[in-house]
Structure 1
Amino acid sequence: MPPLLHIPTSVIELWQALMSLLDSYIIMPTLSEVLSPTRLRLRKRARDVVPHSQRNMHDFLFDVKSTFEAPLSLDSLLAMSTQLQDEFRQKLQSSTECMLPSFSHTLPTGDERGTFLALDVGGTNFRVALVELNGKDSTTSGMWMSKMRSFRIDNAVRSLPGAAFFDWMAEKIQEVLSQSDIQNTAVLSMGLSWSFPIAQTSQKTGTILPMGKGFRASDGLIGKDLSLQLMEACRSKDLNVRVEAIINDSSATLLTRAFADNATRIALILGTGFNASAHLPVNLFSQEKFGSRPETWHEKAENVLVNTELSMFGKTVFPLTKWDEQIKKNHPKPDYQPFEHLIAGRYLGEITRLILLDAIKTAGLFGGEIPGNFSEEHSFDTAIMAAFESDETKHLSTASAAFLAAHPLKWTPSHSELHMIRQICSLVTHRAAAFLATGTHALWYLRTTAEGLNPAKSGRISIGCNGSVIERYPSFKTVCQTYLDDLTTMSGAQPNSVMLEPAVESAIFGAAVAASCED
Structure 2
Amino acid sequence: NPCFSLSSRVQPDPSGSETCVCLQVEKHLEPFRLSLEKLQDVSARLRKDMLRGLGKHAHHRAAVKMLPTFVRATPDGTEKGDFLALDLGGTNFRVLHVRVLEEEQRVLKMDSQICAIPQEIMLGTGEKLFDHIAACLAEFLDSQKLRGQTLPLGFTFSFPCEQKEIDKSILIRWTKGFNCSGVEGEDVVRLLKEAIHRRGDYDIGSVAMVNDTVGTMMSCGYRDQSCEIGMIIGTGTNACYMEEMKNVKRVEGEDGRMCINTEWGGFGDDGSLKDILTEFDEEVDKTSINPGVHTFEKMISGMYLGEIVRLVLLKLTEEKLLFKGCPSEALLTPGSFETKFISEIEDGLENAKKILTKLALDWDLVDACVARLVCDTVSSRSARLCAAALATIANRIRTNRGLDHLKTTVGVDGTVYRKHPNFSDELQAAVRLLAPKCDVSFLISEDGSGKGAAMVTAVAQRLALQSRLLEDSDGEDEEEEEEEEKANI
Query: Offset of 1:27 from its aligned partner?
Result: 8.3
Give per-residue Cα distances to partners, 1:335-355, cap 9 Å, x unaligned. 322211110111111111110
Query: Offset of 1:155 from its aligned partner?
Result: 4.4
Q: Distance in 2 between matches of 1:418 and 1:229?
A: 55
TM-score, length-scaled by structure 1: 0.80
TM-score, length-scaled by structure 2: 0.84
User: Which residue of structure 2 aligns with residue 128 of structure 1?
Assistant: 95
The reply on whether 1:478 has 2:428 as its aligned counterpart is no
**Higher mean Cα deviation, 310-319 or 125-134?**
310-319
The reply on whether 1:200 has 2:176 as its aligned counterpart is no
The reply on whether 1:106 has 2:73 as its aligned counterpart is yes
User: Which residue of structure 2 aligns with residue 224 of structure 1?
Assistant: 186
Q: Distance in 2 between matches of 1:430 and 1:68?
A: 9
Give per-residue Cα distances to partners, 1:309-346, cap 9 Å, x unaligned. 11111342461222122223334544322211110111
CA contact 1:60–1:363 (8 Å) conserved in 2: no
Alignment of 1:344-355 (within 5 A): 344-355=301-312
SS of residue in 2 equivalent to 1:133: strand
SS of residue in 2 equivalent to 1:188: coil
Q: Distance in 2 between matches of 1:205 and 1:177?
A: 24
Alignment of 1:344-423 (within 5 A): 344-391=301-348, 396=350, 398-405=351-358, 407-409=359-361, 411=362, 413-423=363-373
Alignment of 1:241-252 (within 5 A): 241-252=204-215
Partner residue of 1:462 out of 395, 401, 409: 409
Partner residue of 2:24 out of 60, 84, 90: 60
User: Which residue of structure 2 aligns with residue 44 of structure 1?
Assistant: none
SS of residue in 1 equivalent to 2:411: strand
Q: Distance in 2 between matches of 1:25 and 1:90?
A: 45
What amino acid is aligned across from residue 204 of structure 1 in structure 2?
D
Alignment of 1:165-204 (within 5 A): 165-182=129-146, 184-204=147-167
What amino acid is aligned across from residue 146 of structure 1 in structure 2?
M
User: Which residue of structure 2 aligns with residue 306 of structure 1?
Assistant: 260
- CA change 1:152–1:429 in 2 (3 A) is farther
SS of residue in 1 equivalent to 2:196: helix
Give per-residue Cα distances to partners, 1:460-485, cap 9 Å, x unaligned. 10011011111222221111001111
Q: Distance in 2 between matches of 1:117 and 1:85?
A: 37
Q: Distance in 2 between matches of 1:25 and 1:425?
A: 14
Give per-residue Cα distances to partners, 1:424-483, cap 9 Å, x unaligned. 1110000110010000111111222122222x3x3x100110111112222211110011
Partner residue of 1:215 out of 152, 159, 178: 178
Q: Distance in 2 between matches of 1:362 and 1:154?
A: 49
Query: Where does structure 1 lack aligned partners over 5 or more consecutive residues?
Result: 1-21, 32-52
- CA change 1:61–1:86 in 2 (3 A) is same
CA contact 2:245–2:257 (8 Å) conserved in 1: yes
Alignment of 1:39-188 (within 5 A): 57-69=21-33, 71-72=34-35, 74-93=36-55, 94-96=58-60, 98-135=65-102, 138-139=103-104, 142-153=106-117, 155-156=119-120, 158-182=122-146, 184-188=147-151
Give per-residue Cα distances to partners, 1:282-311, cap 9 Å, x unaligned. 22233xx22xx6xxxx27x42111111111
The reply on whether 1:316 has 2:272 as its aligned counterpart is yes
CA contact 2:85–2:98 (8 Å) conserved in 1: yes
CA contact 1:27–1:416 (8 Å) conserved in 2: no
CA contact 2:356–2:368 (8 Å) conserved in 1: no
How many residue pairs align between the two structures?
A: 446
What amino acid is aligned across from residue 303 of structure 2 in structure 1?
R
- CA change 1:370–1:123 in 2 (3 A) is farther
Please provide the CA RMSD for this pair. 2.7
The reply on whether 1:510 has 2:460 as its aligned counterpart is no
Q: Distance in 1 between matches of 2:11 and 2:450?
A: 46
Query: Offset of 1:152 from its aligned partner?
Result: 4.6
